Amino acid sequence: MKSVAELLQGYLHHVIYDPEHAFLDVEQLPKEFQELGSELVYFCKCLMETTALAQNIAKGNLEVDLPPPENEMAGPLKALHASLKHLTWRAQQVAKGDYQQHLDFMGEFAEAFNAMKEQLEYQRRNLLKEIEDGHEKTQALEQSNSLLQIITNQISQWIIVMDVTTSDWLYVNQQAAQILKDPDYESKWKRWMKWQADALEKNGQPYFTEMKISQGDKVQYFSVDIHPLSWYGNKALVFMFTDVSYEKEQLYDLQNAAYTDIMTQAFNRRYGMKILHEWLVGSRSFVLCFIDIDRLKSVNDTFGHSEGDRYILEVTGILHNFSLESVLCRMGGDEFMILAQDWNAAKAKERMEVLRNRLINGDFARNHSYERSISYGVVEVRADNLLSESALLSIADERMYEYKKAYRMKHKKINRILFE
């Protein structure tokens, strides 16, 4: 018959390594240990409930049943769960265009969130103002009663009058003539204008379109108003080109800000999930690497968040070297994701080990008093994959934690050998 210590030790072993089969028959204990056994069973029940909640939070699964109120052990995690749900809701509101959202909890993360929101709102206002200014210019053109008024009032625009029958240019204002001296450049414009004339011939009504022209490394964007008119008895079209390259650049900057992690300048979770979805829909073959920075919380607590930020930036710089074509995203906090096409799992693991050793043994490591490392999980996604984005991330997350656990056990074993 097993001793009390063996029964309790066996039960605790199952709780830690095989919780689904953990069971302690309190009636088998001597009477004087039965109360202790009951308390231990309740403690382990609370522990498993708390662990389950922690695992769900780690996977980003916030739609879970919470431990009961009497489980005081889970209190801090339940509070974190509530904060994350609230943060998720606020982020969703910002994504919908509500820039009035403001975080006043979660410390430095709240500061970064509020700064990002203010930057997006500032850029949005500027872009809207520029667009409004562009619309006002267009309205001024519509109110013009003659070509002379258009030329006089809109001298910054390019104005070209084209014969509908012959496609010859009947008039080119000075601004356009200065640019269209290059015959090849002029040829591109004529072809594009001929296409527009053919499209306009069906209805004969003025309309608005956009145009993109490349000349060497330079790319220009134009908004184009096209109006039919009679030019000295000839059926003609007047093209009024407004350079909107600056507005396009501003729009690109706004989109880039929405997809960029402010601190690391890597892509953010929103962009990463967008690319992951697009690759899955496009049936592409790629690898997904999910990375976690080891002991970041300990570094923040011991050396301060400034040191923790330097740690994050060092890891980001190393992960950028996975490959030139890979997509690196900061998923939040200490978690990153790499998406890379034309890689298999074995090759990706080899590359991750190279980067991990570079972090452990690099100049940054030699000049600091704590160990730096990362844990990772790799999933190879084939073209015939049927798993969803969340399912793939969950698998990668689980493999990352398996890697982390294996490394910790190996580390403990080495320390035990060194100090025996």
In this structure, are residues 321 and 355 in contact, taking their beta carbons and an 8 Å threshold?
Answer: yes
Size of the chain, expressed as the number of residues it contains: 420
Instruction: Output the pLDDT for position 363.
Output: 66
Distance CA 188, CA 217 (A): 16
Report yes or no: 233 and 169 within 8 Å, Cβ to Cβ: no
Has residue 122 got a pLDDT over 60?
A: yes
Q: 224 has which bridge partners? A: 209, 241
Give 146: exposed, middle or buried? Use CB within 10 Å, 0-12, 13-18, 19+: exposed
Binned at pLDDT 50, 70 and 90, residue 44 comes out as confident
Contact 365, 372 (CB under 8 A): yes
pLDDT in the model for residue 146? 57
pLDDT of 158 over the 70 cut: yes
393 in Cβ contact with 409 (< 8 Å): no
Whether the per-residue pLDDT at 257 is higher than 80: the answer is: no
Per cent of the chain over pLDDT 70 is 85
The tens digit of pLDDT for each residue in 360-402 reads 887 655 556 788 999 999 999 999 999 999 999 999 999 999 9
Q: What is the mean pLDDT of residues 129-155?
A: 60
Residue 57 tokens, joined: 């939070």
**Is the per-residue pLDDT at 416 higher than 60?**
no
Q: Name, of 42-56, 277-291, 358-372, the range with top average pLDDT.
A: 277-291
In CATH, the number for domain 260-418 is 3.30.70.270
What band does 356 get if pLDDT is binned at 50, 70 and 90?
Answer: very high
Average pLDDT over the chain, rounded to an integer: 81
The answer to whether the beta carbons of residues 337 and 272 sit under 8 Å apart is yes
| CA–CA dist 97, 21 (Å, integer) | 49
Residue 293 predicted with pLDDT over 90: yes
Q: Give residue 348's pLDDT band: very low, low, confident or very high (50, 70, 90).
A: very high
Domain boundaries, the chain: 4-94, 155-248, 260-418
Orientation of helix 269-281 relative to helix 389-419, angle to 10°: 120
Q: How far is CA 299 from CA 131, 310, 329, in A?
A: 47, 10, 22
On the question of pLDDT at 160 being above 90, the answer is no
Closest CA relative to residue 305, chosen from 270, 277, 333: 333
- For residue 214, give both structure tokens: 């490349």
CATH fold of 155-248? Beta-Lactamase (3.30.450)
What integer pLDDT is reported at residue 148 of this predicted model? 59
CA distances from 145 to 153, 154, 164, 279, 409 (A): 11, 13, 21, 52, 82
Q: How far apart are CA 23 and CA 11, in angstroms?
A: 6
First to last CA, the chain: 34
Cα–Cα distances (Å) from 101 to 92, 253, 346, in that order, read 10, 22, 44
More confident residue, 141 or 16: 16
DSSP tag of 65: P
Please give the share of the chain, as a percent, with pLDDT higher than 90. 31
Distances in Å between the Cα of 95 and the Cα atoms of 57, 150, 249, 342 are 22, 41, 21, 32
